Chain A
Amino acid sequence: MITVREVSKSFGKLRVLDRLSLAIKPARITGLVGPNAAGKTTLAKIILGLTRPDSGSIEINGAPMGADDSYRSRIGYMPQLARFPDNLSARELLGMLTDLRGATPPLDEELIDRFAFEGALDKPIRVLSGGTRQKVNAVITFLFRPELLILDEPTAGLDPVASGILKDKVLAEKRAGKTFLLTSHIMSELDELADDVAFINEGKVAFIGAVGELKKITRQNSLERAIAEMMKRGVAA
C-alpha cells in the first residue's frame, strides 16, 4: 500500500527522520508508536504531502508520490487537533469538502447517525465543544470512503461512548479492506485495534511487524509492556 524509502527530514539542526524505510501492508491497521518527538507525526505529514522530505521517496500503490495531488483523494486524514473556521457550521464544512473533492454520493455518513449529533451540525463550529469538534473531524475522515486512513490520536477528547463507536468503525472498515495508519499514546487502544506495529525511535524504524511478534520478542503479554521493553532496550543500545 505505502512504501517509504530512505526518507530523511531535518528541522534546522534537529534530524527528525533519518533515512527511514517502511512498508505498510494493505487491509491492515498499522500502529505507529515511539517516544515523544520520535517523528511519528512528521512521517504521517510527509505521506500526506504536508511536509516535504529532504530526501527519499514514497510510493502509494506502486506509484511514486510526486507533483500530482490527485492521490490524496484516496486518503482520509484525521489530525490530532481539529480546528475549523469559526463561523461556518459543520454541515457547511462537509458541503465544502464534498464540493472541493468533487465527490459524488453516496458518501459514508454512518458516523453522523452513530454519534447522533445531527442537531449540532447546523450550529457555528465556534460554539461546539472540543469533543463534538473531534466527532466532526472523525466524520470528515470517513466521509469520502478513502482507501487509506491516517489517524493521529483519534480518540483524544472523545468520551468512552464516542470512542467506542469510532473504534468499531475502524475495525469494520478494516474488514472491508481499508488500510489504516494509526498513532496513539494509548497502548491499550493500539492493542485492541492494531495488526502491525511500527516502532520508531530517533528517526528510524526500530521494529516493524505483527503485534504478536513484538510481544513474543519482548516476552510481554501486553503491547504497553512490550513497547516499554523496546524503549528500555533502545536506551541501552
Chain B
Amino acid sequence: MRTTAKVAGYELRDVLRSRWLIGYTLFFLVVTDALFRFGGGGEKALLSLVNVVLFLIPLVAIVFSTVYLYAAREFTELLLTQPIRRRQVFAGLYLGLALPLSLSFVAAVLIPFIVHGGIATARPGTFVAFLLTGVALNFIFTALAILIVARTEDRLKGLGIAVALWLFLAVLYDGLVLLLISIMADHPLERPLLAMMLANPMDLARVGLLLQFDVAALLGYTGALLQKFFGRSMGVAVTAAAMAGWIILPFLAGMRAFQKKDF
C-alpha cells in the first residue's frame, strides 16, 4: 500500500502541473461561476451544472487519462524495473490520475459555491451527492481508460476506442434505448430498460443525481421507472452500488491485463 501511495503521489505532482489539467479546472471554474451569476440560486446552478458534469467529466477523464498513460509508457517501464510489484505500479498509476482529476473538479465547483454563498441555498445532501457523483464519474472513466491502455498496444487505436466509448455512452446509447422502446412498444419493458440503465455509467449518474433533486420531469423514462421500481432512497442506493461496480470491474480487468502485459 505504501508503495502504491508513493507512486500515486509522484504522479499526482506531475499531473497537477499539467497545463491541460490547469486549463480544464479554470474552464470548470468559469462555467460554475457563470451559472451562478446568470442562473440564480444554489440549487438552480447545481441543476444546470449537472448536464455539464455528466458530459464533460467522462470525456475529459477518459481522454486525458488515455493520452497521459500512453505518454507515460517509458516511465511505466522505469517503474516496473524497480523492485516493486506490478499491482502496486498499476494501482499507483490509476490513483495518480483519478485523484488529481477529482480534485480539480471539486475545487472548480466548491470555490464559486463558497464565493457566491451557494452552500447556504442548496441542500447539503444534494450538494454532497453532486460532488460524489462527479468524483465517481472521474474514477469510472479513468478506470476505463487504464483498461483500454493496458489492452491496446497502438496508441492511436486506444485513443480512438476511448473517444468512441464516450460517444457511444453519451449519445448513441439513449438513441438505442428509444429505438428499443418504439419497436417493442407492445411488450412489458420495465426490466430490460432498468438493466440497460444500469449498464451505462452516464445514465446511472444522471438518474442518481436527478433523484436527489426531486425533479421528476427531468428523470426521463428510465429514471421514472427506477423510482417506481425501488422507491427513491432505495433507487439512490441501487445507483450508488452500480456505480461502485463500474469503478471496480474495469479496474480489476485492467489490472489483470497489466499483470500479463509484455512491455
Contact residues in A for B190 (Cβ distance below 8 Å): none
Number of interface residues of B (CB under 8 A): 27
Q: Which residues, 61 to 83 on B, are CB-close (under 8 Å) to A?
A: 71-75, 77-83
Q: Are B17 and A87 in contact (CB under 8 A)?
A: yes
CB distance from A102 to the nearest CB of B (A): 9
Q: Are A79 and B77 in contact (CB under 8 A)?
A: yes
Task: Given A83-B74, A87-B14, A88-B13, decide whether A50 and B81 contact each other with a Cβ distance below 8 A.
Answer: yes
> A100–B96 Cα gap in the complex (Å)?
15
Stretch from B3-11, B41-49, B128-136, B201-209 forming part of the interface with A: B3-11
B interface: dominant SS: helix
Q: Are A50 and B80 in contact (CB under 8 A)?
A: yes
CB distance from A110 to the nearest CB of B (A): 21
Q: Which residues, 217 to 234 on A, are CB-close (under 8 Å) to B?
A: none
Contact residues in B for A52 (Cβ distance below 8 Å): 260, 262
- Contact mask A80-96 → B, CB, 8 Å, 1/0? 01111111100010001
Q: Are A79 and B78 in contact (CB under 8 A)?
A: yes
Q: Are B13 and A45 in contact (CB under 8 A)?
A: no
- The interface of chain B, by Cβ under 8 A from chain A, is 3, 6-7, 10-11, 13-15, 17-18, 71-75, 77-85, 260, 262-263
- The interface of chain A, by Cβ under 8 A from chain B, is 11, 45, 48-52, 69-73, 75, 77, 79, 81-88, 92, 96-97, 99-101, 124, 140
Q: Contacts A52-B262, A97-B82, A99-B6 known; list 18 others, CB within 8 Å.
A: A11-B262, A45-B262, A48-B81, A50-B77, A50-B80, A72-B81, A81-B74, A83-B71, A83-B73, A84-B78, A86-B18, A87-B14, A97-B78, A100-B3, A100-B6, A100-B82, A101-B82, A124-B17
